[in-house]
Structures are given as structure tokens and as C-alpha cells.
A = this chain, B = another copy of it.
Amino acid sequence: MPSLGAILVNNKVSNVRAPDGEAAAERVCAGVAHLLGLEPWQVFPSSTGVIGWRLPEEEMLAALPGAVAALSGGSALPVAEGIVTTDLYPKVRRVGLGAGSIVAFGKGAGMIEPNLATMLVYVLTDIAVPRATLRAMLARAVDASFNTISIDGEMSTSDTVAIVSSGAVPCVDLAEFEGALTRVCRELAGDIVRNGEGVRHVVRVRVVGAPDNAFARALGKSVVNAPLFKCAVAGNDPNVGRLVQAVGKHIGIHASGMDISRLRLLFGGVEIFADGVFRLDPEKEALLREHLRSAELYASKPDASGFFAPQVHFPPHERFVEIVIELGAGEGIAEVIGGDLTHEYVSENADYRS
């Protein structure tokens, strides 16, 4: 029997630092265990929602019998649909591997800079991999996937990536399994950004030539979190000065002595900065604008009440706004994925429909 027997997810209240919060979660887990014939420690709880308020323990306990009665095998889609909050669509990725498969599903749309964030991800597989090996593989896969994304630089205490194996199918090749696991995680991470709160463009920043990988990743995150650059992307405006500002601010704060004479920047494959000066002309501007337009996920438009609701209910494409930053200062590389800053983000997080 696997050590984990059930995963319980609730939304609306994240049960963070609420008085008596830990004991409340344990009582609800015990309720689940009792109904499923498990030990309480076999139930894994996840809570997402408003920080600081108490878990609605009584209501949750009362709802458990109905939830248990509704359990069914087969597709992971109902679970992926069930855990969404401000997500626009369920997110599921699957890779088949011999007679087995790896299925991952997750929710997460705001307060996302994993390390982790208000992101809940569950990976299920029927392939048997020893527990310690599986745990180490998951850590590496998370580092190469969920830890490279950022919606708004905000972090959360409620982040979860859990993997569960039924062990039904023998593992033929551990390296192949790890490759498949990493691919599933990277694809799902992309989906999470694509469906990030208010995200209308997914931005992929590749940093090369950094002093080390950690610096490369930190620089990439600074760029995808720079509000003026994010606004320019939202507006399909190739305002490259804001990009260079974000790069310069990060280097100025964290590596002010760095030789940046070899700094070179590409935007949508087009060189925009080299040899210490901008390389701009109206023809390039038109190319950049078209690159931004082609990566737009949906048009921004308020509804009759002035609320900006995303005009999309499925991922229409998987294109990126592509930024390359060549530092010429070492061998460090990183890829970071983020989004733009839009009216839809502000509506989601500042406007409330009564």
C-alpha cells in the first residue's frame, strides 16, 4: 500500500497562520481518513485562498461524505476541473511511458513565483520508482519547471507539488522516467503561466553568458517581473528601453562591477542592443510589434460593468514573447517564463463584483 492514501484540496481559505489552523486541518484529515478506511497521516491536505482566516471546519466535515461518494476512477479531468479557482481552464498534462504513464494536473493563477507559490500540482503515475529516487527526481524536475516561472513575483506558503505512484507498472529505464517526468512538469508549468491571472502574453527570457546559473535565473526573474516592461508587452509596445532598464537595474543592484560591454539583447529574434548602444529603426519596430501581436493570447476588453474578464476559455496557442539576454560574462544560463501586466490582472485582484 502506498503511504499516501488521499489528497484533500479546498479553496477560498488558505488556512495560513489562522488561530488553531493546524489542528483544524488535522481534524478534517481525520474525517477523510475515517470515511476511506485510512490512517489520518495518509491524508495530504492542501488549502488555497484568502490568507489569515479560519478554515470552515464544520462545513468541510459535513461535505466530506458527499465528496467521498462522488469519487470515481478513470480520467483526471474532473479533479483538474475541481481544483481551479481563478484559473480559466483545467490544466492536465500526460506522458505515456511503456505500459505506464505520468499524469500531472495543477491549479495556480496568481501569487505565483514558485519557490513555490499559490500553486497546487499533483503528479500521478502507475510506474514503480523507489521512493527516495522518485523524491530526488521530483526535486530536479521542479527546479527545471515550476521554479522557472513567475506571474507576479509574489510567493505563497501554500505551494504544493506532490507525486504519487501506484507502483503497478515496473520501471524499465529510470533515466527515461525522469525525462518524461521533467517534460510533464515543464509543460504544466507553461500552462500555469499561460493561464496566470490576467496573462495575455507569455514571456520567455533566456539568459546566457551569466557568471553562473543562479545569477542568470535571478536576472530573468527581474525582467519578467518589471512592471513597466510587463505593461509594454501588454500593449504590444516594443518599448525596449523598459527591457534594458530592467536588465540594468538588476545588474546595478546585484553586480554593479560587472563588465557589460559585451551585453547584447534580442527581442523576438531581432537584435536591439549591442556594443553599448541601441540598434533600433522603424522597420525593426514593426517586426517587434508583430512579434508581440502574434504572441497575444486574447484581446483585452471590459464587460458592460467595466470588469476586465479574460476573453478566453482555453489556451489558444503556445507562443511566447522571446527575449534573449547575452551577458558575455561567463557560462551561466537560465530560462524564465512570465507574463504581462494587464487590466485583467488588476480587475482580478482589485475589482470586486458585488
Within 8 A of B (CB), among A294-322: 301-302, 306, 308
Q: Which of B153, B234, B277 contacts A227 (CB 8 A)?
A: B153
Q: Which of B227, B241, B349 contacts A51 (CB 8 A)?
A: B241
Contact between chains at A110 and B350 (CB < 8 Å): no
Chain B residue contacts of A277, Cβ below 8 A: 17-19
Chain B residue contacts of A239, Cβ below 8 A: 50-51
Copies in the complex: 2
Tell yes or no: A87 within 8 A of B by CB.
no
Chain B residue contacts of A152, Cβ below 8 A: 227-228
Contact between chains at B14 and A349 (CB < 8 Å): no
Contact between chains at B346 and A241 (CB < 8 Å): no
Tell yes or no: A57 within 8 A of B by CB.
no
Interface segment out of the listed A25-33, A77-85, A88-96, A243-251: A243-251
Within 8 A of B (CB), among A180-222: none
Number of interface residues of A (CB under 8 A): 55
Tell yes or no: A286 within 8 A of B by CB.
no
How far, in whole Å, are A320 and B216 apart by their CA atoms in the complex?
38
Contact between chains at A154 and B228 (CB < 8 Å): yes
Chain B residue contacts of A224, Cβ below 8 A: none
Tell yes or no: A155 within 8 A of B by CB.
yes
Within 8 A of B (CB), among A104-139: 110-111
Contact between chains at B350 and A280 (CB < 8 Å): no
> How far apart are A244's CB and chain B's nearest CB, in angstroms?
6
How far, in whole Å, are A56 and B241 apart by their CA atoms in the complex?
17
Chain B residue contacts of A237, Cβ below 8 A: 350, 352
